[in-house]
Structure 1
């Protein structure tokens, strides 16, 4: 089965969605029309991109003219948005995405591998992970920076806190690399569910908790791959979670945000910064 896809860009995507659905669209989705990703919004928030494109799917033989007429007549724009049409073939989109995923080496013995792939190196430490409920498969530069640090770090026997765990990828990688225990914390219940499922699939034991229920007792290593604003706000809490001499790894911040985030932790840590593709990783060693 094929579909007729309409694509338009408007300052009022929610309004366009209502009009399209009212005139026969089978589904409507929003995509980034620029290059401004929205990462890990807070609970209850549903932010859109500064430039949002609206994609509407109609049956291949449907007449889209009533929808287009409504868009032109009712949408509160100075000029009607430009609409493009395309026939798209139906596919198993999930399977297509999975088939395109490959195992990725992050240095040392560490690999992140989709479940349907294999890593031939017998000495490899493999974390098996497919895209799912929560953010984090290692493809984003901020996650990659954290995984590359873990791959070369000596964390054997350490107690690890992964604050903002998402899919659990960092905590699971730490456990596979020899950490004695790991706790994943997140504000999103789906992230905690995904982390537990991924930990079971990787045959490691992970403790998870929401932000109000985890133990703040000092850890050997604290990982926080979230966003610059929360990292600054959480500086007193995350700092208190690291034992003297322990390490703190912060990511999810743009290069231009690094200095401000580092300054929030500078009183308690000796900090080093590494940048990749416009994103920065900060690694701090807790001062005595």
Structure 2
């Protein structure tokens, strides 16, 4: 059965109301998209941030009359004095197996020589490699983004045997779990989103990691402690604000990697961590940066 898809190009202020109006008009599903392809990585706890240019996309059975949908939105959408009715467009989508099409988008990805991240429905390319089984979910981090890839490549390059690792801003837990599969003894995941903590625990179990090897905390509950290796794939702002906290997670002589930033942020972040961290040359991937270094040993 074909489907009618209607997209409204709007602002964050209008998006929620348009979503409600589409559902009222019999929409089978509503999806919010970013018109400028700008991801939101670190929302405030309990918030649902939207993009400056948001697409509200509704999917209808093909027997629905497009003009009736548009008229319903037009007649009920409350516009401020400086707002105009949003632009929209529609198209007919041929029927297909949408779940299968979504699944086909995700493939195993290799990081370094010995680490693969694989969705559960795909065959493992190299059974002799370190294979992290991870499906896309609510928490950020599947290996497809450049910042995650930079951190995974760094972890893969280390000898993590019997080391402890802290994944600060753990999201899906991909970095800490990768560390465990690569030989680390124990991981601690910290995130301000409780959903991320659930995802980290679930993903660890999916990879046959014992619960005793994984600790997860909200930041306010995190008991101060140090690890041999720390990864923090968040954003430049939180990295700077949390500099004393994150730096103090690293044992003297321990290693740290940070990502979620652009080259324009490098100097300010290095300055923020200068009292504790001696940095190596940074790595880049498609404009994104990974900073890594060593915690200074002080007498």
What TM-score, normalized by structure 2, do the two folds share?
Answer: 0.89
Indicate the residue corresponding to 1:140 in structure 2: 145
Indicate the residue corresponding to 1:182 in structure 2: 187
1:66-119 alpha-carbon deviations (Å, 9 max, x no partner): 332344455536554332111124544333222332211100211111122233
My pick for the range that moved more, 142-151 or 187-196, is: 187-196
Aligned residue runs from structure 1 range 141-220, under 5 A: 141-205=146-210, 206-220=214-228
My pick for the range that moved more, 45-54 or 23-32, is: 23-32
Indicate the residue corresponding to 2:38 in structure 1: 36
Indicate the residue corresponding to 2:243 in structure 1: 235
My pick for the range that moved more, 228-237 or 136-145, is: 228-237
Counterpart among 269, 288, 291 of residue 279 in structure 1: 288
Counterpart among 115, 126, 132 of residue 127 in structure 1: 132
Aligned: 1:258 with 2:263? no
- Aligned equivalents of 2:140 and 2:217: distance in 1? 17
Indicate the residue corresponding to 2:229 in structure 1: 221
My pick for the range that moved more, 117-126 or 242-251, is: 117-126
Give the Å deviation of 1:121.
Answer: 3.3
Instruction: Give the SS at the match of 1:212.
Output: helix
Instruction: Give the SS at the match of 1:29.
Output: strand
Aligned residue runs from structure 1 range 34-73, under 5 A: 34-72=36-74
- Aligned equivalents of 1:101 and 1:261: distance in 2? 33
Instruction: Give the SS at the match of 1:148.
Output: helix
Aligned: 1:6 with 2:6? yes
Instruction: Give the SS at the match of 1:121.
Output: coil
Indicate the residue corresponding to 1:24 in structure 2: 26
Instruction: Give the SS at the match of 1:34.
Output: coil
1:110-142 alpha-carbon deviations (Å, 9 max, x no partner): 111112223343531111111123111100000
Give the Å deviation of 1:193.
Answer: 1.3
Indicate the residue corresponding to 1:269 in structure 2: 277
Does the aligned pair in 2 maintain the 1:111–1:127 contact within 8 Å? yes
Does the aligned pair in 1 maintain the 2:171–2:197 contact within 8 Å? yes
RMSD (Å), alpha carbons: 1.9
Does the aligned pair in 1 maintain the 2:108–2:125 contact within 8 Å? no
Instruction: Give the SS at the match of 1:43.
Output: coil
- Aligned equivalents of 2:235 and 2:98: distance in 1? 29
- Aligned equivalents of 1:26 and 1:101: distance in 2? 25
Instruction: Give the SS at the match of 2:220.
Output: coil
- Aligned equivalents of 1:138 and 1:146: distance in 2? 9
Gap change, CA 1:119 and 1:234, over 3 Å in 2: same
Gap change, CA 1:161 and 1:277, over 3 Å in 2: same
- Aligned equivalents of 2:9 and 2:221: distance in 1? 43
- Aligned equivalents of 2:84 and 2:195: distance in 1? 41
My pick for the range that moved more, 148-157 or 57-66, is: 57-66
